[in-house]
Amino acid sequence: MRDMYELMERWGAWAASDSSGVDWQPIAAGFKGLMPHGKKSRLQCDDDEGLKIDGCVARLRKCKPDEYELLIAHFVVGISLRAIAKKRKCSDGTIRKKLQTALGFIDGCLSFLPLLQ
């Protein structure tokens, strides 16, 4: 079984380095690249793996937009789960459960990819 948290951290670093096709950029056109997202020294996944995860994240966006926003905020932008919980005015446990749901969705989606090819 793969470590989904570590996998998503590497994907978040990859996506933050402008390799992602997912439309998550919170910066207006013309200002891209002015503000870095997250830490630049994080380990990144390769492009093949990143594109596969991007496809799964795009599916998550359609099915569960709240969990999608949580993934982007935590893994791409680098906001802590506690800060997200505080902003949404809910407990850390609630945010962690939603993150677990999102990671399970991505894991399941990645599991089905070999069957679809």
pLDDT at 21 over 70: no
Domain count, the chain: 1
For residue 37, being part of any structural domain is answered with no
Name the pTM for this structure.
0.78
pLDDT tens, 53-102? 999 999 999 999 999 999 999 999 999 999 999 999 999 999 999 999 99
How far apart are alpha carbons 72 and 20 in whole angstroms? 12
Q: What is the CATH number of the domain that holds 107?
A: 1.10.10
For residue 25, being part of any structural domain is answered with no
| Closest listed residue to residue 35, CA positions, set 44, 23, 22, 26 | 26
For residue 10, being part of any structural domain is answered with yes
Q: What beta strand segments (E) does 1-117 contain?
A: none
Q: What confidence category does residue 20 fall into, taking pLDDT thresholds of 50, 70 and 90?
A: low
| Closest listed residue to residue 55, CA positions, set 25, 47, 43 | 47
For residue 107, being part of any structural domain is answered with yes
Range of the domain at 53: 4-20+44-116
- CA quadruple 25, 30, 31, 37: dihedral sign: positive
For residue 48, being part of any structural domain is answered with yes
